[in-house]
Amino acid sequence: MNKPEISIIIPTYCEEGNIIPLHSKLIFELTQLKISDFEIIYVNDGSRDKSLDKIKELVTQDSRVKYIHFSRNFGHQNALRAGLDFATGNAVISMDADLQHPPELIATLINHWRADYKIVFTKRKDTKDLTFFKKLTSKLFYKLVNYLSETKLEEGTADFRLLDRSVVEALKKYKENNLFYRGIVPSLGFKQIGVEYVPNERFSGETKYTFSKMVRFALTGITSSSAKPLYFSIYLGAFLALCSFFYGLYAIYISIFTSNAITGWTSIIASILFIGGIQLIMLGVVGIYLGKLFSESKNRPHYIVEETNIN
């Protein structure tokens, strides 16, 4: 059996209203490119709606449609992992199911790949209707990741990218539980190029990235790609200890050489609360890393496939 030229991976979580329109656009774009040898793999990440039914409906219409159905929700990055594990194409494109990643950009990705680029990543351009809060948190995320990790991320990059087969095989060697592909892919090397795009409006449904999920994703990105937060905790602790030492000398000087009364309560309580808060933050940072080690030590499966039509 010949391998398809292109595999398209689409992690899907509660996207029943987007699957059919997205598929129609993908078929149109691939037909325009005169690519008939392809596969589209929908990874249903424990959707609670009728996403799986919509995918199975496509399977009955087109044998090039594949699906992987998880037993529960394992998260976006593990859905991408499963897609990479099962994809067989010479090039693999990953994109979201909400139609915000424009299918019409696929032609540009493939053209760069044919020009011998092994990784073709995309960079989102902010639109005018993007909220100030979203712009601020996005910029803060990339600044923090770039400051705290060894790998530099270009602002606006996401999991909409094309990977050559050689890159996919390299990625499959990464076995850790807490994956952060945005940080791993740039660190691989290979010949890379970025393509800017303007995101489309979400076709149907609501975003699945709540604020709490974005915070967890940011923490995963930072702690998965660097140990700098641990070093930062040490530096901050040393700085506070130095400040406390000089404050102690100041308090002793006031007590012995002056008659000024030290009021005490306000400064003491403020100092205790401040230093206690910093200590809790540092313990939290250490706890995240220990939690990752605990998770890795259990060696549990990254995902569980309940159903698939891939042999």
**Could you confirm whether domain 6-208+301-308 is CATH 3.60.15.10?**
no
**pLDDT for position 2:** 75
**pLDDT for position 265:** 55
> Tens of pLDDT along 14-56?
999 999 999 999 999 999 999 989 999 999 999 999 999 999 9
Distance of alpha carbon 3 from alpha carbon 87, whole angstroms: 10
How many angstroms separate the Cα of 147 from the Cα of each of 208, 225, 240? Answer: 27, 11, 22
Regions in the chain scoring below 50 on pLDDT: none
**pLDDT for position 263:** 58
> Tens of pLDDT along 119-128?
999 998 876 6
**pLDDT for position 42:** 97
Give Cα 282 to chain centroid, integer Å: 24
82: number of Cβ within 10 Å = 23
Distance of alpha carbon 79 from alpha carbon 45, whole angstroms: 6
**pLDDT for position 68:** 97
**pLDDT for position 178:** 76
**pLDDT for position 155:** 74
